[in-house]
A and B are shown apart, each in its own frame.
Chain A
Amino acid sequence: MTLQVQDPPISARIRENLGNLAEALRRNPTMLFGLVVLSAMAIAAFGAPYLGLDDPMRQVPRERLHGPSADSLFGTDMFGRDLFSRVLHGGQISLIVGLSVAFLATTIGMVIGLIAGFNRHVDAVVMRFMDALMSIPAILLAIALVALWGSSVPNVILALTIPEVPRVVRLVRSVVLTLRDQLYVQAAIASGTSTPRILLRHIMPNTIPPIIVQATYICAQAVIFEAYLSFVGAGTPPEIPSWGNIMAEGRMYFYQNLGIILFPGIFLAITVFAINTFGDGLRDSLDPRMQRRV
């Protein structure tokens, strides 16, 4: 008789999880649509340098503010730079900012939320601080922070992360509070499991599904806010093309070439829409109550 006391291989677990995702996508076509559009946007943005497009920085003063033509698909801006190339390259900043903010805000929020949910003394102090932070409008706080630190992409990411943290903290804390009294957590305490292990092993895995969903909304929000910041001149440095920058610089000239405002705007809207669609689909497939209805 062979003794079966081994863990299943990691590859089997990964395959299981990927299988679940594929199944969810198959059952939820709008979610698939969101994912496909988002992937296309990411490939276009990060693949732009390899597409043989014009250099987004190269100025051709003779061809300023031309309309769309076969030569330059979206036309040119006031310095004669190719708008199509600039819009694609601009997507890099938006996506980097969106994803980084979503990742940072959920990670920081998760850690603070777990601790606040489990320790009443920390909770009292931290949550009042979070309440205070939430009372400041996110965009104003972000503008103030960038003004304070100076404009650079990492600073924009940080400035957009900080206002998002309190919402994640609240979400994680609420899950922790309901799980803390579950019998299996009590059983773990009774069998001598330390608090950090209880948090990591028994509580954190249950906070991940709602957090992933929240992360998609934060990502969409951050893409928009990055454009706001650039538009009001408190964001990404002007030499780097981003959707907000292109619109901000071009807003004086849209009578000559409407595309200068229109195309970055459309790309921004499509990206945010795709992220939100994907997030909605994730929520539906991760929420067991919704699952049966779909």
Chain B
Amino acid sequence: MSDTPVLEVKDLRKHFPIAGGLLQREQARVYAVDGVSFSVGHGETLGIVGESGCGKSTAGKVILKLLEPTSGSIHLKGKDISKLSRREMHPHRREMQVIFQDPYASLNQRMRAQDIVAEPLGNYEEGSSRRARLEKVAALFNKVGLRRDFMNRYPHEFSGGQRQRLGIARALALNPELIIADEPVSALDVSVQAQVINLMMDLQQEFNLSYLFIAHDLAVVQHISHRIGVMYLGKLVEITDKRSLFRNPQHPYTEALLGAVPVPDPRRRRQRVVLKGDVPSPITPPKGCNFNTRCPYAFDRCFQEEPELREVARGHLAACHLR
């Protein structure tokens, strides 16, 4: 296997201009993603966590080129795709597929299950017969644990978990190397979540898939990820392997996130860092460290200088002046 990671993102930024006034000129910008760098290796799962509005889904959409990046680079298997036009992007799309959060909105209600899963095949295998494509769809149904006699049904005849399996089958159809999963289980029941996560892990084994797994549920991310990145207000504040993140969090925000996970033992008293206040607006992020408005340890330097993401231990990066 080569050393080039499947996905390498460098200093990725996505700003949304807010237009206003008579001439619709830019009045301000939303710093949705503001300088994020990470990489995903072959067969690896990188989990990205953060609270809502931190830019994790936007980052996913920019990597998929559903949104144009403001700046920064996205290398997919060593090739920079950040500046490719829609047409130039076409051959690269088949290496990177997506699973969305909402299994209701992400499937076209008017199409049959088999046509939904066959759509990507039709886009890349122009020559193949419809029959051959449907055979492939049948095999995919098998892989994701759906019955073949459901192929003719419409999405509304499936349950939430089954719909998400359909979404997974569609993502697998082109044999991609990387799947970007944008909160793939957040909309499902806990018991169904486990089934879908386990299916994703089995498929990863079988096809040597890489996942960029975006979620806000730490338990789910802990279960599926090899490495985890924590995002706050458009920036990556900490990224490391799963074990050191949970055992030895280096950023105060990560500490607070972990402290907020409930422990199923009423007698155990824990020391918790409880955060006060809300996330500041991404339109006017604070000067210095983004987290200084809520950080219990903030000192002078945090209000003046923005901390860089540095290696604080082997393979463990954090953006905090205290480390």
Residues on A facing B (Cβ under 8 Å): 3-8, 182-184, 186-195, 197, 201-202, 205-206
16 contacts between A and B (CB under 8 A): A4-B148, A5-B135, A7-B152, A184-B105, A184-B108, A186-B98, A186-B100, A187-B107, A188-B119, A190-B64, A190-B66, A191-B93, A191-B97, A191-B123, A192-B90, A192-B124
Are A190 and B93 interface neighbours, CB within 8 A?
Answer: yes
CA distance A183 to B99 in the complex (A): 10
B306 on the interface (CB 8 Å rule)?
Answer: no
Are B152 and A8 interface neighbours, CB within 8 A?
Answer: yes
Contact residues in B for A183 (Cβ distance below 8 Å): 100-102, 105-106
B298 on the interface (CB 8 Å rule)?
Answer: no
B side interface size, CB within 8 A: 38
Are A192 and B94 interface neighbours, CB within 8 A?
Answer: yes
Contact residues in B for A192 (Cβ distance below 8 Å): 90, 93-94, 120, 123-124, 174
Q: Which residue of B lies closest to A182 (CB)?
A: B105
Contact residues in B for A4 (Cβ distance below 8 Å): 148-149, 151-152
Q: Which residue of B lies closest to A195 (CB)?
A: B86
Q: Which residue of B lies closest to A187 (CB)?
A: B106
B163 to chain A, nearest CB (A): 11
Contact residues in A for B114 (Cβ distance below 8 Å): 5
A181 to chain B, nearest CB (A): 10
Contact residues in A for B173 (Cβ distance below 8 Å): 191
Are B119 and A193 interface neighbours, CB within 8 A?
Answer: yes
Contact residues in B for A8 (Cβ distance below 8 Å): 152
Contact residues in B for A206 (Cβ distance below 8 Å): 110
Contact residues in A for B111 (Cβ distance below 8 Å): 201
Q: Which residue of B lies closest to A205 (CB)?
A: B110
> What per-residue 1/0 map shows which CB atoms of B64-104 lie under 8 Å from chain A?
10100000000000000000001000100110111011100
Contact residues in B for A186 (Cβ distance below 8 Å): 61, 66, 98, 100, 106
Are A194 and B123 interface neighbours, CB within 8 A?
Answer: yes
Contact residues in B for A205 (Cβ distance below 8 Å): 110
B170 on the interface (CB 8 Å rule)?
Answer: yes
B220 to chain A, nearest CB (A): 20
Are B107 and A184 interface neighbours, CB within 8 A?
Answer: yes
CA distance A193 to B170 in the complex (A): 13
Q: Which of B136-150 contact A (CB under 8 A)?
A: 137-138, 148-149
> What per-residue 1/0 map shows which CB atoms of B12-32 lie under 8 Å from chain A?
000000000000000000000
Contact residues in B for A189 (Cβ distance below 8 Å): 66
CA distance A5 to B107 in the complex (A): 20
B131 on the interface (CB 8 Å rule)?
Answer: yes
Q: Which residue of B lies closest to A184 (CB)?
A: B108
Are B105 and A5 interface neighbours, CB within 8 A?
Answer: no
Are A5 and B137 interface neighbours, CB within 8 A?
Answer: yes
Contact residues in B for A191 (Cβ distance below 8 Å): 93, 97-98, 119-120, 123, 170-171, 173-174
Are B123 and A193 interface neighbours, CB within 8 A?
Answer: yes
> What per-residue 1/0 map shows which CB atoms of B37-76 lie under 8 Å from chain A?
0000000000000000000000001001010000000000
B192 on the interface (CB 8 Å rule)?
Answer: no
B197 on the interface (CB 8 Å rule)?
Answer: no
Q: Which residue of B lies closest to A203 (CB)?
A: B108
B265 to chain A, nearest CB (A): 39
Are A190 and B97 interface neighbours, CB within 8 A?
Answer: yes
Q: Which residue of B lies closest to A3 (CB)?
A: B138
Are A187 and B98 interface neighbours, CB within 8 A?
Answer: yes
Contact residues in A for B199 (Cβ distance below 8 Å): none
Q: Which residue of B lies closest to A185 (CB)?
A: B108
Looking at B90, B110, B119, B174, which has the most chain A CB atoms within 10 Å of its CB? B119
